[in-house]
Structure 1
Amino acid sequence: MSADEGPATFRSVLAHREYRYLLSANVFSWIGDYLARAAVTVLVLHHSGSVALSAASFALSYLPWLVGGPVLAAIAERMPFRSTMVACDLIRMLLIGLIALPGMPIWGMFALLFGTAMANPPFQAARSALLPQVLVGDRLVIGLALQQSTGQAAQIVGFAAGSTLAGIDPRTALMVNSVTFGISALLIRLGVHDRRPVGISQTRRPLLRETGDGFRIIWHSRVMRGIAVLVFATMFFGVVPEGLAAGWAQTLADDRAEAGWMQAMIMIASPVGIILGGLVVGRLLSAEQRRRSIPVFAVLTPLALVPAIFAPPVYLVSLMAFACGFMGAGMFPAANGLFVEVLPAGYRARAFGVMQTGVQVSQGAAVLATGVMAERFSLPVVVGAWSIGGVLLTLAVAFRWPSNTEISQEIEENRRANASPPGPEAPPPQTSRVESTKGAEHG
């Protein structure tokens, strides 16, 4: 589908058969994944009686990105994308099914959970590299926005269903998750073409060196580096409401029952904001307006949480979390689409691995840091002061945001490079093409 067939709309994106299959598969996979997270924490808590072990089971889903995400993403770039995704779904289907078996010890659950999570980086990297081959131009940005909003809706449904079903029988919830991975694999196999990486030759370099190329290709591009820093900084502050929801609800509630529904309000507010933000921004702003608004939305994301310093009631806390999610949704699809436009095609999966690892590290570090500070200081004051720091940091990054001239030049050079026949793969450039251009406009 050509990028110049008219303005991109949600209808035009959903009219693409291959994208519909891919999105449907993701919905099943997402719902099942969030359902399993809720169920596993309950199952581990029932078996061990330990809240710490229950929390650790939830945290395991982030660990593979920290210990090997970029390497696993580089592996995904060596194989056909559809085959990689189907294989990962089948592996997750099998391992989650084994966790649901009666009599599974705690150590066995943790081992199987870790194995399941290890399939996430190559699956997500392959999906990230595949999508720009399915949708092009502004349709890619709209498709990413729709994917983001759908993912947040799946998170709400998955957590709600998982918590409810886990209270009745957590093993049944895990079996449902196993089935969803099987459905995802079937949809991808039937509806997605078995596309391969483009822009690279069959001659590969050592795996660790190719993994390092994923870092270097981002660092040596002024536009990609700017996107990476802005995304990591925004995630470092935007994740706080969800990460501290339980503690925040405790400070606002008079009893446990009240704390429960308050926590639910705070946790759900951000995903709802992301859903509506993705739909509204994608609908009302043009592609150029969305691109120009990336640094603006980045600053507004932590700014939405600054009023926390005044210890507002739960309804205002939820409204702040909603606004934070809404602003983030205005930024991330456009930033992701721009990232793809300036990224050489042969580095898509590897660069995704680097970006996703940075996002995971940013989120985990932010929740850990603010949680530790909240042990010694008032939680609303911690969130408010943390967010003020976020505004200052994102403002500093926004002032260094590449100019329109630099962005356009990198996009054009990358289009020409991706259109060229692939030769032996070379390492990424040691200096940015745009940074070495004299007379470039600076924004």
Structure 2
Amino acid sequence: MGDRQKKTGHRAVLAHRDFRYLVASFATSGIGDWFYNVALIVYVLEQTRSPGWVAAASICRLLPFVLFGSLGGVLGDRYDRRTVMILSDLVRAALMFLLALVAVLSAPVIFAVALAFLSTIASTTFFPAAAATTPSLVEEDNLAAANGLITTVDYLAIALGPALGGFVIAVGGVPALSFGVNGLTFVASAIFLSRVPRGGKTQREEEKRIPLRRQVAEGAGAITSSGSVVILVAIIVAAMFTYGEETVLYPLVAERLLSTGVEGVGYLFAAFGVGGVLASGVANRVVERGRPAVVLVLGSMVAATPLLLLPLTTTPAVAYLLVAIEGGSFIFVEVLATTLLQRIVRTEVMARVFGIIDSLTVAGTVLGAFVAPVVVRLFGLQAALWTAGGILIVLTLMCIPRIRVLDKEAARRRRELGPKITLLSGLNIFAGMPRGSLESLAAVTAEESVTLGEVVIEQGAPADDFFVVRAGTLEVLSSGEGGGAQVKVTELREGDYAGEIGLVERLPRTATVRATSDCSLYRIKGDDFLNAVNGTPALSGALFAGIAGRMARTHPSYQPTVRPPG
């Protein structure tokens, strides 16, 4: 424990110059994305007066995330991430300038839709690379604050981008100006990124090569084998289906109900984003309190209610308030469902499960954008709004019996895992691990008792598991690099750990650990430990310090392969 208080939170992470440049890039790029989203809808609606064409534009804008999202993440792992992000920005800037030219020339709408499709393809590489870059720019203790700041910036972009886009359209009178300004935001983002150090290529040594088809099947199996997971995924996808319908319905609401013209579209999206920003902090606190699944149901119901009320008002201020309430409720659904999934899904398949969920949510959004104009054409705008809200309400009501069980399961799981999480979170090598990851690791941690004189780890044996001392004492013995008789190196007590060197460095055990009293230990399988470490890149700094310090005592000439960030 240090003598001085360590600075944490948003102010601490913003003290890092390189991270400030990343946040600035993220903000300008995010605002640019929403800037053009509104302008594209307005342009298509002005040119065609067709909800079908608006739906086609929305679908083409989202479809690349379904088709190429995984590839975007692979590129961010394979090549220098800063370069990947800069190229993404520059390609999108060029496409926006072309889109502005299309709007100036009043070219056929199909060209605008095609350019939107290409722009989204370029976007798929940016956000995975940005997320993977963050741990190399801040310390482990500040990683959670850094991610929280990026999330806040994302919601602010949702709030500001549409509003600014609507303002530019109102002042300039044509979407072409918005497309051009959007292109400039991407250029600015690339300039910010050029000040971030080159990070190099990410490597995952000796990673198991499982065929893609089998990986997808295992992830799908983890979803379908758990009724609780199926319910959570269904609620998330239903919410995104509703949002997909709204991307088509908002322009019609602005034009036909509120009489604000197409310029009012941006203000509706902005109200949605503002609601999300205001609710984000509250949602995070609710996660840590009791019965989050009940709050999830209430959030889903409240998110649907404004859609039922929108047809009853023609006052813009009332409509914006309703949409803001909906946006805040959507944040509750997203945060709570994600947290519950992290507590239920097994660690070894969690990434695949969330990958499948990402594809399903975007697919749900696309399907909603496809269905909305059909309902409008057959039954009218009012019926379409009621349908969008009604589907979410009906599905949520159907899920309530299972949600109650899920809430009890989650509460029981947290009670059972509490002591393990407390001990694991106190270890310096897990200091930067998110709460959800700690819960997942605690879920696969086994309790084990050993008696006086029992050998827990034997020098020279293959490395298998990682151990944490819960109670009792153990001695660490090693013959060092030269062999010969073993000598006592140190003693382990409550809160100490052993076994990480052989697992991380892929070495036989470098020391013997023997109980000097009856002990209680936590045992974590090697694969589970490595999955946790590899899934949280910021842990590498503490790992390096620990391994280097221990190896210096027993094998001073050995150079650890783990390196600290940067």
TM-score by length of 2: 0.59
| CA 34–351 in structure 1, closer or farther in 2 if over 3 Å, else same | same
Q: Name the residue aligned to 2:441.
A: 411
List gaps (5 residues or longer) in structure 2: 418-435, 446-465, 467-498, 507-526, 533-566
Question: Which residue in 2 is equivalent to 1:302?
Answer: 300
Could you say what secondary structure the match of 1:411 adopts? helix
Report how far residue 414 of structure 1 moved: 8.5
Aligned amino acid, residue 97 of structure 2? G
- More divergent stretch after superposition (212-221 vs 383-392): 212-221
Partner of 1:440: none
% same residue: 19
Call closer, same or farther: CA 1:312–1:122 in 2, change over 3 Å: same
Determine the C-alpha separation between the residues in 2 that align with 1:74 and 1:6: 36
User: Could you say if the C-alpha distance between residues 162 and 357 of structure 1 is closer, same or farther in structure 2, counting changes exceeding 3 Å?
Assistant: farther
List aligned pairs for 1:150-169, cutoff 5 A.
150-164=156-170, 167-168=173-174
Matches within 5 A, 1:267-282: 267-281=269-283
Q: What are the equivalent positions in structure 2 for 1:370-409 lying under 5 Å apart?
A: 370-374=372-376, 375-376=378-379, 378-379=382-383, 381-393=386-398, 395=400, 396-397=402-403, 399-400=405-406, 402=410, 403-404=413-414, 405=416, 409=439
1:156 to 1:109, Cα distance in 2 relative to 1, 3 A:
closer
Q: Give the letter aligned to residue 359 of structure 1.
A: T
Q: Provide the rounded CA distance (Å) in 2 between the counterparts of 1:167 and 1:52.
A: 23
Q: Could you say if the C-alpha distance between residues 32 and 10 of structure 1 is closer, same or farther in structure 2, counting changes exceeding 3 Å?
A: same
Residue 25 of structure 1, CA deviation:
0.5
Change in Cα spacing, 1:309 to 1:274, as seen in structure 2 (3 Å) is closer
Deviates more, 1:24-33 or 1:136-145: 136-145
Once the two structures are superposed, what CA deviation does each residue of 1:181-202 show, in whole Å capped at 9, x if it has no partner?
122122123135516546x226
Matches within 5 A, 1:49-60: 52-53=52-53, 56-60=56-60
Equivalent position SS for 1:201:
coil
Evaluate the alpha carbon distance shift between residue 261 and residue 302 of structure 1 in structure 2; reply closer, same or farther with a 3 A threshold: farther
**Equivalence for 1:127:** 130
1:143 paired to 2:149: yes
Q: Relative to 1, partners in 2 of residues 1:219 and 1:127: Cα closer, same or farther, differing over 3 Å?
A: farther
Q: What secondary structure is seen at the aligned counterpart in 1 of 2:504?
A: coil
Partner in structure 1 of residue 28 of structure 2: 28
Change (3 A) 1:41 1:149: closer
Distance 1:413 1:69, change over 3 A: same
Q: How does 1:230-269 map onto structure 2 within 5 Å?
A: 230-237=235-242, 241=246, 243-249=248-254, 252-253=257-258, 257-258=259-260, 266-269=268-271
Given that 1:99 and 1:112 are in contact with CA atoms closer than 8 Å, whether structure 2 keeps it comes out as: yes
Q: Deviations over 1:231-268 (max 9, x none)?
A: 33433345655542234456645xxx356687666443
Aligned counterparts of 2:373 and 2:261: Cα–Cα separation in 1: 18
Report the equivalent of 1:201. 205
Name the amino acid aligned to 2:126: F
Kept after mapping to 2: 8 A contact 1:272/1:322:
yes
The one-letter code sitting in structure 1 at the alignment partner of 2:127 is Q
Counterpart residue number, 1:436 = none
For residues 196 and 372 of structure 2, the distance between their equivalents in structure 1, rounded to whole angstroms, comes to 44
Is the contact between residue 370 and residue 382 of structure 1 (CA under 8 Å) also seen in structure 2? no
TM-score by length of 1: 0.72
Distance 1:391 1:87, change over 3 A: same
Residue by residue over 1:372-413, the C-alpha shift from the partner in whole angstroms, topping out at 9 and shown as x without a partner, is 345327425424422321432553456436432576551347
What count of residue pairs does the alignment treat as equivalent? 413
In 2, Cα distance between equivalents of 1:218 and 1:192 = 38
Which structure exhibits the higher relative contact order, with contacts defined as CA atoms closer than 8 Å and separated by 6 or more residues? 1
Instruction: Name the CA distance, whole Å, in 2 between partners of 1:418 and 1:228.
Output: 35
Query: Quick check: 261-270 or 335-344, which moved more?
Result: 335-344
Does the CA contact (< 8 Å) of 1:57 and 1:110 recur in 2?
A: yes
Structure 2: distance between partners of 1:195 and 1:337:
32
CA contact (8 A) 2:296 2:337 kept: no
For residues 288 and 43 of structure 1, do their structure 2 counterparts lie closer, same or farther at Cα, with a shift above 3 Å needed?
A: closer
**Is the Cα–Cα contact under 8 Å of residues 168 and 178 in structure 2 kept in the other structure?**
yes
Map of 2:196 onto structure 1: 191
The separation in 1 between residues aligned to 2:151 and 2:398, in whole angstroms, is: 25
Tell me what 1:438 maps to.
Answer: none
Residue pair 1:265, 1:318 contacting (<8 A) in 2 also:
yes
| Counterpart residue identity of residue 504, structure 2 | P
Residues 308 and 164 of structure 1, relative CA distance in 2, 3 Å threshold: closer
Map 1:23-102 to 2 at 5 A: 23-41=23-41, 52-53=52-53, 56-101=56-101
TM-superposed deviation, 1:157 = 3.6
RMSD: 4.7
Partner of 2:327: 325
Bigger Cα displacement from structure 2, 118-127 vs 294-303: 294-303
> Which residue identity does 1:231 align to in structure 2?
I
Q: Which amino acid in structure 2 is aligned with residue 147 of structure 1?
A: V
Paired with 2:500 and 2:229, the residues of 1 have a C-alpha distance of 16
What is aligned with 1:421?
Answer: 504
The one-letter amino acid of 2:30's match is: W
Contact 2:41 2:57 in 1 (8 A): yes
On the 8 A contact 1:42/1:166 being kept in 2, the answer is: no
- In 2, the alpha carbon distance for the partners of 1:270 and 1:133 equals 33
Partner of 2:116: 113
Looking at structure 2, the residues matched to 344 and 140 of structure 1 have their Cα atoms a distance apart, in angstroms, of 23
Cα distance in structure 2, aligned partners of 1:104 and 1:383: 33
Larger-Rg structure: 2
Q: Which moved more, 1:391-400 or 1:332-341?
A: 332-341
Closer, same or farther: CA 333–166 of 1 in aligned 2, 3 Å: farther
Give the C-alpha shift of residue 276 in structure 1.
1.0
User: Partners in 2 of 1:193 and 1:111 — Cα distance?
Assistant: 33
Higher helix share: 1
Q: How far apart, in 1, do the equivalents of 2:246 and 2:340 lie? A: 27
CA distance in 1, matches of 2:308, 2:346: 40
Which residue is equivalent to 1:441?
A: none
> 1:383 and 1:179, CA in 2 relative to 1: closer, same or farther beyond 3 A?
closer
String of CA shifts for 1:202-228, please: whole Å, max 9, x gaps.
66848xx34863674575387987765
Task: Please tell me whether the aligned partners of residues 82 and 193 of structure 1 are also in contact (alpha carbons under 8 angstroms).
Answer: yes
Query: Does the 8 A contact of 1:84 with 1:126 survive in 2?
Result: yes
